[in-house]
Each structure stands twice: as structure tokens, then as C-alpha cells.
Amino acid sequence: MNHPNEIKLIIDDIPVEVPEGTSVLEAALSVDITIPHFCWHPALGKAGACRVCAVKVLEGSPRGVQMSCMLPAQDGMVVSTTDPEAVALRKGVIEWLMINHPHDCPVCDEGGECQLQDFTIAGGHGLRRYDGRKRTYTNQYLGEYIEHEMNRCIQCYRCARFYQEYAGATDFGVMGRGNMIYFGRQGDGPLESPFSGNLVDICPTGVFTDKTARFRARYWDYDLAPSVCPHCSLGCNITPAARYRELLKVIARRNDSVNGWFICDRGRFSNGAVNAPERPRQALADNRPVSCDEAMDALLERLTEFLELNGPASLAIVGSPRMSLEGNIMAARLRELLGAGTLSYFDDRLQAERTMEAASLLTTANAASLADVRKADLVAIMECDLLAEAPMMALAVRQAWRGGARVYVVGCDVPFDSAQGTKTLAERSRSPASPTHPGPDSVPPDRPDAPRTRPGAGCPPPLPAPGGARGWSGSRPGVCSRTRSHPATPRPVRGSATPRGQRCPHC
Amino acid sequence: MIPEQLRQELKRRVADAVTPREAAVDVMKELQRHCGWLTDEAVAEAAVLLGISTLQVEELATFYEMIYRRPVGRNVIHVCDSVSCWAMGGETLLAHLEQHMGIATGQTTPDGAFTLLPCSCLGNCGNGPTLMIGETIHHRVTPEDARAILARAMDQGAP
């Protein structure tokens, strides 16, 4: 059935149907025609900054060579991406973009996974004609996680748009103008956004690369596998990249109904525990190294002995809220199989009851995905510090807020600004009068009509938390020595400088 | 530190703007007028007044070429450095001024009287070559005119 707002156009002799408001670039991508593009990104939209997505409009208005990202698809339009005029323009623009690019691919970590490499080759610019001086920059120290190399920049503005508009942080942006443009901070210092790692993925070339995996491997060296982030319950999709059995880096994997294109820094930079030498890698039985099969046999033997002696009722199978869903389901299966008397996932009864209660309220009809949250009209956050609990949910709420949603925080202690991502807890704890950071009432420029939030509007008194901790979100006083002393402690997600609400990522 | 009166005046202007950011150029220009150039302290002051981060003020300050993030002389000479003025002898004018004042573009004379800056289009293309000193635009400037303009500015600036 044809949707009333469906647009029909022809791109390279292929009929395309897209909803009204779709750009010609997106329409072309929808039928697998790739037009080179840098500034346009599905999550950020268009900027019209790179001038590389030229196509020729053969029929429709305006005719002639146009930027496909800026051009809305119209009924009856006929577009060519292969017209010699468009091809020549793209080739020229790419050549200009490459004028200042250092061509240091052999020593660049982006090499092999670089959009600039791909589109330079695709655009047909294979020989450098320019032999003048190149623009050079002094790089900044951006913290222990991101390496800065401004000389490679092609000024697509993706980083600044993501960082300030999408993620709402204000310590990184674009300075200067024209040929003297600089993407960075006001001075050296770690990036403050808990989503800063996405700069690595979003930069079409190697201005921002993952410092933790610097000079370790090429794209084709990695063992890659689609995976799900284990660091909170949201289930953001990731691609861990390993080499020689060492997890080198984590890359966001696109899933439009969950995390979209991005992941948080906790998910990206918490490899320490995975690679920790203390991590058991050898099965032991009675302190004797054995094969995995032998260990399983030994376990079964002991279990059988135990069950014979004590009966299944005295056996407890223990899972954990920190374990993966798959692991916890296996724990339940094991319990069934052995007829164990106890199956425990929580360390106290109240926590278990509350979780059961909350889970029982969820139905397929009322459960919302992160994609639903991003499009919500109203978001109520119930006694939860989103940035500490599940950072990507805070990012999703921010997208809803940017789209005009009203956001309420019920439960008083964490104002909404952390959900916006415009200000983090770390900053708040630093200095309330710090000139760098706007007060909670400030209205960000990208949403002038922003409704003022009402922290704690009509909020009920907080629920009594068991043992003085904060219910299901609190970390317990007793933690293992790895949590306390591991040398490669992953960076805490900024914005959760308070110990409360942080979970140990080590197991 | 800026005078309380100036701060209150700027606060009022920010409050009158539709969005605070809209008042940014106004605030930066006033602070520049007060300090001579937009000092780091003035950037911090502007950030507080506008409710944006210092980086965000820096973004705007470095975008506009008539906001000075380094100390400048008492008079700033902007010589148009765009295509229409080039065609009418703008480059010769700039070279002449450099020679006359004994400084390169971007520098300030040792007595602190003049800073010479090239500048993207001053919007006076029909009357090139153009230069601007203080807030006055001069049309069809010959090297002789330029010397006279400097001398007048010197006289006016003299104590």
C-alpha cells in the first residue's frame, strides 16, 4: 500500500520510494547506492559542511549538481550519482579535503577502517597534485582514552555536533574559522562527557583514535564478533575487537532499537577486567590444573556425592544481577536439572521482591526500548541516577528532550540535568559557582523553549532502602580486593564520581 | 573583575535576548571594549553571564575576527583581504602599511598605537580597497590616504 506521504523518485535508473522529508542521500542509501559523505551521519543528520555528496538532478527542482544530504527527495525527481559533472565535483572536493591531510595512514590507527580512505579511493583521487605546505596543528591531551591528531581533520564537524548537540557536553567543540579551524578543548585535559569514546567511531578519519589500543592492530587483524555490552542492563550492542586472545577495544555496533550508533565510555573502556592476568584461565581440580572437561566431570562427581549425602533441598544455585541474562537462565536450568532447593540471584530478600515486582509490571505492550525512549513525549525518571546506572538511557532521554519531550525526575536527589547530559555529577560536586558550567536552570541553546524541569515535582518520600544502601542500585559495603586495588581500574563513568550507584566492573 | 555596573548592564541585555546565546557577541564586544581585548578573565565572565561554558565562548570569540583574543594596540587597523579589494590594490595597500609602520600583519607597533590585521570582506566591495580603523570604514584607500588616516588617528589618540 502506498503511504500518502510517500515520495517516488528515480536514482540511477532505480525507482525509490521514501517517506516525505527524506534526503536524496538517505534515499540513495536505502537502495544501497553509496554516495560519498562525511558530514552527514544517520544519528546527527546533515550539516552541508563537506560538499562531497554531490549528485546531479536531471529532473525536478533545483536541477543540476546538488548536495544530496541537503536536498529533500521530491516526487518525480530523477537523480544521477554517476553523471560526469557530479563525479568530477566529488573528485575535486575530495582532492581539496586531502590537501591538508597528512597521508600518514601507515602510522594511523584508523587505517583500514577509515571512511576517508574509502571515499578518497571511491572518488577517484589517487594521485596527489598539491605539493605545497600543509596546515599543521598542535594536538591536545584529551585524557587516557582518546588520542588527538588534528592534522588529519577534514572539518566535517561530526565530533563537535555529536559532543555538544547529541551528548550535551560543553567542554569540547570547534574553535576558529575557515582554514584555521580547530576541534578540541579550550586547553589540555580529559574529555568530560561520559560518551566521549564515540568520537573514535564517529570521526570519519583518524583525528580521534582509541588510545587504549593504539598501535596494537589493524582492522583485519582483529577477531571481531557481534556482542552485547555486559556493563549494565540496557544491552547495548557492541563489537569487541581482540587480537591474540587479548581484548583490545570495543566498538559500538549499530542497533536502531537499542543503542542506535553509540555506546557509553564505561562499555567502551572497561577492558581491564577482561584482560586481567588474575582472571582464572586454567581450570583447577583440587588445585591441580586440569582440562575444562575434566573439571566439569569433577564438578558433576562432587555434586552427585553432595546430593546423595544431603539431598537436593540443601543445594543452592547462586546467580547474580551482574551476570548475563544467558548465564542466569543457565543457572535456573541447572537448578531444575539438579532439583536444587534454592536459586538465588540477589543478596537480600527485599531486593529480590522489588525486582520481581518491577519485572511483573512489564508487559510486551508497555515495555519501552531505548528507541521508544528517544521518541517519547514525556519521560518520568523514578529515583534513578541515569548517568550512573545506565548512561545510554540518559543519552536516550536527552534525545527525547531535544525533540521536545517533558522530563520529570521523581525522587529528588538527582536533578534532571544529569539526564540531559549537559552537566555531570562530577562537575556539580566540583564547584557550584564554577564559571565553566551553567546552572541547572540554564536553557541549552539547541532547545530555547526547553521547559524548566521540576526536580522532585510531587515526589513521594524515597523508599526506605535496605541496610542504608540505595535499594537495587546501591553497591554493598563489602567488595573484593580486585575492586579496591586493581591497577588497571577502568575509568569510572564521569558523572558518577559519587561512590553511590557505581558498580564494580571487574566481575 | 569588571565593574558591577557593567555586569548589571550585560545581565540585562542577556535577559532581554530571546536566548542567552544570542547576546554573546554583544557581551563579548562590551567586555572587549572594557578590557581592550577579550582576556581569559573576560571569557570566563562572558561564560557566566551567558550561561554557557568557557569553551563555548571561545568557539564564538575565535569565530569573529573583530573579537581579539590577544592584546592589541589602541587602534586596530583591519585591511580588507578579500577578492574585490585584491582586484583594486588591497594587497599593495597592506604591504604599504606593513612597510610604513615597520610591522608585519598580526603585529602591534612598539608604541602600542596600532595593530595591523588582514580581514575577510568588510562588505564594502564597490569601494575597494577598504580598511577599517576603530569603527570607521574608509573607502578607495590609496597608500597616501592610509598614511593620512594613521596620522589623524595618532593625533586623536595623543594625550
Residue A215 confidence (pLDDT): 95
B69: closest chain A residue by CA: A176
Domain assignment present for B69: no
Cα–chain center distance at B119: 10
Cβ(A191)–Cβ(A143) under 8 Å? Answer: yes
- Region of residue A22 (phi > 0: left; psi between -120 and 50: alpha; otherwise: beta): beta
Mark yes or no for CB contact B52/A172 under 8 Å: no
Is B43 among the domain residues? yes
Distances (CA, A) of B133 to B32, B74, B75, B130: 16, 10, 7, 10
* Residue B108: φ, ψ to 5°: -115, 140
Interface residues on B facing A, Cβ-Cβ cutoff 8 A: 18-21, 44-45, 47-48, 51-56, 58-59, 62-63, 65, 120
> What is chain A's pLDDT, residue by residue, as a tens digit (507 residues)?
455 689 999 999 999 999 999 999 999 999 999 999 999 999 999 898 899 999 999 999 899 999 999 999 999 999 999 999 999 999 999 999 999 999 999 999 999 999 999 999 988 888 899 999 999 999 999 999 999 999 999 999 999 999 999 999 999 999 998 888 999 999 999 999 999 999 999 999 999 999 999 999 999 999 999 999 989 889 999 999 999 989 999 999 999 999 999 999 999 999 888 899 988 889 999 999 999 999 999 999 999 999 999 999 999 999 998 888 889 999 999 999 999 999 999 988 999 999 899 889 999 899 999 999 999 999 998 888 888 889 999 999 999 999 999 998 887 565 555 444 444 433 333 333 333 333 333 333 344 343 333 333 333 333 333 332 222 222 333 344 343 333 333 333 333 333 334 444 444
Residue of B59, B64, B119 to mutate when probing chain A, most A C-beta within 10 A: B59
Instruction: Kindly report the backbone phi and psi dihedral angles of residue A166, in degrees, each rounded to the nearest multiple of 5, phi listed first.
Output: -75, -45
Residue A201 CA, distance from chain mean position: 9
User: Domains of chain A: which residue ranges?
Assistant: 6-97, 133-275, 284-361, 370-466, 470-507
3-class DSSP state for residue B133?
strand
Same domain, B82 and B108: yes
Which chain A residue has its CA at the smallest distance from B51's CA? A438
Answer whether residue B130 is part of any domain. Answer: yes
Nearest to A11 by CA among A1, A3, A22, A2: A22
Determine which helix (DSSP H) or strand (DSSP E) holds A69, and give its type and residue range.
none
- Residue A50 CA: distances (Å) to CA of A41, A214, A266, A302: 12, 28, 32, 66
Across the interface, do A435 and B21 touch by the CB < 8 Å criterion? Answer: no
User: In terms of domains, do B102 and B79 share one?
Assistant: yes
Cross-chain Cβ contact A442/B20 below 8 Å: yes
My answer on whether B151 and B80 are in the same domain is yes
Do B65 and A435 make contact, defined as CB atoms within 8 angstroms? Answer: no
In a domain, B68, yes or no: no
| Pairwise CA distance, residues A501 & B16, whole Å | 41
User: Count of domains in chain B?
Assistant: 2
**Interface contact A445-B53, CB threshold 8 A:** no
Residue B69 pLDDT more than 70?
yes
Are B80 and B145 part of one and the same domain?
yes
- Together in a domain, B33 and B91: no
Query: Is the pTM value of this prediction over 0.80?
Result: yes
Per-residue b or e along A33-67, where b marks 16 or more CB atoms closer than 10 Å to that residue's CB: bebbbbbbbebbebbebbbbbbbbbeebeeeebbb
Nearest chain B residue (CA) to A186: B55
Cα–Cα distance measured from residue A74 to residue A10, given in angstroms and rounded to the nearest whole number: 10
pLDDT value for A432: 32
Tell me the nearest-neighbour CA distance from B74 into chain A, angstroms: 24
- Regarding an ipTM greater than 0.95, the answer is no
If asked whether residues B92 and B41 sit together in one domain, one would say no
**Closest approach of A277 to chain B, Cα-based (Å):** 41
Asked if A227 and A339 count as a contact pair (C-beta separation under 8 A), the reply is: no
Whether B147 and B81 map to the same domain: the answer is yes
Q: What domain range is B87 assigned to?
A: 75-156
- d(CA A193, CA A265) in angstroms, rounded, equals 9
- DSSP-assigned states of every residue in A137-204: -------SSEEE-GGG-----HHHIIIIIIS---S-EEES-GGG-EEE-SSS-----TTTTHHHHH-S
Q: In angstroms, what separates the C-alpha of A51 from chain B's closest C-alpha? A: 21
Q: What is the CA radius of gyration of chain B?
A: 17
Pair (B91, B139) in one structural domain:
yes
pLDDT of residue B53: 95
User: Cβ contacts of residue A257 below 8 Å, gap of 6+?
Assistant: A369, A370, A371
Task: Pick the residue from chain B with its C-alpha nearest to A441.
Answer: B51
B70 is a domain residue: no
Record: contact A186-B58, CB cut-off 8 A: yes
Q: Are residues B58 and B88 located together in one domain of the fold?
A: no
Q: Return the C-alpha cell found at B108.
A: 602591534
CATH code of residue B106 = 3.40.30.10
Last residue of a domain, one of B28, B43, B63: B63
Q: Check: CB of residue A419 under 8 Å from CB of residue A398.
A: yes
| CATH class of the region A6-97 | alpha beta
* B79 and B59 within one domain: no
Question: What CATH number corresponds to the domain at position B55?
Answer: 1.10.10
What is the model's pLDDT at position A452?
35
For residues B59 and B12, membership in a common domain is answered with yes
Residue B156 confidence class, pLDDT cut points 50, 70, 90:
confident
Do B89 and B57 belong to one domain?
no
Q: Which of these three, B12, B35, B63, is where a domain ends?
A: B63
Distance (Å, whole) CA B56 – CA A174: 8
The whole-number average pLDDT for the span B5-19 is 95
> Which chain A residues are closer than 8 Å to B20 by Cβ?
442-443, 445
Question: Taking a C-beta distance cutoff of 8 angstroms, is the pair A152, A207 a contact?
Answer: yes
